[in-house]
Amino acid sequence: MRTTVGIIGAGPAGLLLARLLHNAGIDSVVLESRDRAYVEHRQRAGILEQGTVDVLRAAGAGERMDREGLRHDGIELRFAKRRHRVDFPGLTGGRSVMVYAQTEVCKDLIALQLKEGGPLLFEAEALAVEGADSESPLVRFRHEGREDVLECDYVVGCDGSWGVARKAIPEELTQVFERTYPFGWLGILADVPPSHDELVYAHHDRGFALLSMRSPQVSRLYLQVPEGTDAEEWTDEAIWDELERRFETADDWRLERGPITQKSVTPMRSYVHEPMRHGRLFLAGDAAHIVPPTGAKGLNLAVGDVVTFARALVHLKETGSAERLDAYSETCLRRVWQAERFSYAMTTLLHRTPGATPFEDRIQLARLDRITAARSAEQDLAECYTGFPLE
């Protein structure tokens, strides 16, 4: 089998890249190790930046998102029983975000790819990337019980942090930057309408909490818990009690409870792999970088990566110049490090580190006070949250 671009991984990054290339008249093949049902139901991110929304619309993948997604024009910060709304359009010149789950993005892109695009092979396990530094790299993969080879002009690894793509870059050429946080998020899905119409980020001396949603009928909520926590250690009643404590306000706001349908614990980690390119192998999304979910950046960073690659390949096709492809890693990493900075800032602003001193607690409150009192600080938060420019 031969193609121009071999794409490993059918998450939102790989699927969107296939769509962008199809629209540009460039052929691709997508290899996904899991089955279609798994890809369409794995719970991940749910906040789309303005730039991501614009890209999906331009790619022809925004119809259901615009119909069913929830546009949000702000978030609420809570601390010391106080409430402060951050007005995104007023601080950013009109930008907003969209609540639309990654599962739904994948469903939309899969349907388009199967209807209009090139081959999308589920249960096709990539085994190795070979010849990345040659003009004809290839991907060895297993599909339907037999091994095969996908010959490519370029390979894009969208196969996550444990995939084969990153392993194909020689270790002596790489630098890794990472930080592991001593806490995680206990997340739940609950069949109850959200108790607020926008996301609520709560700082509390017992730990962080987040009120989010998947739809007008389904709430998504999170609690900061110690690293290594087993979700099953928490009863449903204990989860609601703790959420209620951490979201407490001085007014008459109340948290609505409902049946919990899913609970899990997400570890908190920051990770960057440099470079994001080796020869004709390009890394995108979690294969190259991971951010803690506090800043809602993971999915959106992956979109930025594949948009950068697609634009660079189109530029090569139209002009014969590989200048933008050669600059892929540098271009992406500028955006990645700004997202890492923002995600780190939000995480350290809102979470209570085990063993934190009273001085450190007061510094957090002072940082929150600064955001609520100074337009410049609030504007920086709004601009970062709604998204960095897609270069």
Pinpoint the alpha helices (H) of 137-225: 164-167
Cα Rg of the chain, angstroms? 21
Asked whether the CA dihedral 373, 344, 45, 334 is positive or negative, the reply is: positive
Phi and psi torsions of 59, nearest 5°: -85, -5
Token pair, residue 146, equals: 């037999």
289 is catalytic: no
293 is catalytic: yes
Catalytic residue among 12, 297, 328, 351: 297
Find the helix packing angle between 375-386 and 328-350, rounded to 10°. 130
Sort 56 into a burial class: Cβ within 10 Å, 0-12 / 13-18 / 19+. Answer: buried
Catalytic residue among 72, 204, 273, 351: 72
Q: In what order do the strands lie in the sheet with 209-215?
A: 82-87, 74-79, 199-202, 209-215, 218-226, 175-190, 260-274, 289-290
For residue 275, whether the previous peptide bond is cis, meaning omega lies within 30 degrees of 0, is: yes
201 is catalytic: yes
Catalytic residue among 204, 293, 328, 351: 293
385 is catalytic: yes
Token pair, residue 344, equals: 């780190």
3-state class (DSSP) for residue 72: strand
Instruction: List Cβ neighbours of 124 (8 Å cut-off, separation of 6 or more).
Output: 31, 32, 33, 141, 142, 143
Catalytic residue among 100, 201, 222, 328: 201
Contact 60, 23 (CB under 8 A): yes
* Long-range CB pairs of 336-339, under 8 A, 24+ apart, other chains included: 336/272, 336/288, 336/289, 336/301, 337/272, 338/384, 338/388, 339/289, 339/291, 339/295, 339/297, 339/300, 339/301, 339/388
| DSSP structure class, residue 353 | P
Burial 271-295 (b: 16+ CB within 10 A, else e): bbbbbbbbebbbbbbbbbbbbbbbb
Give 223's strand partners: 186, 209
Instruction: List Cβ neighbours of 95 (8 Å cut-off, separation of 6 or more).
Output: 50, 88, 89, 382, 383, 386, 387
| DSSP structure class, residue 49 | -
What amino acid positions are annotated as catalytic residues? Answer: 72, 201, 293, 297, 385
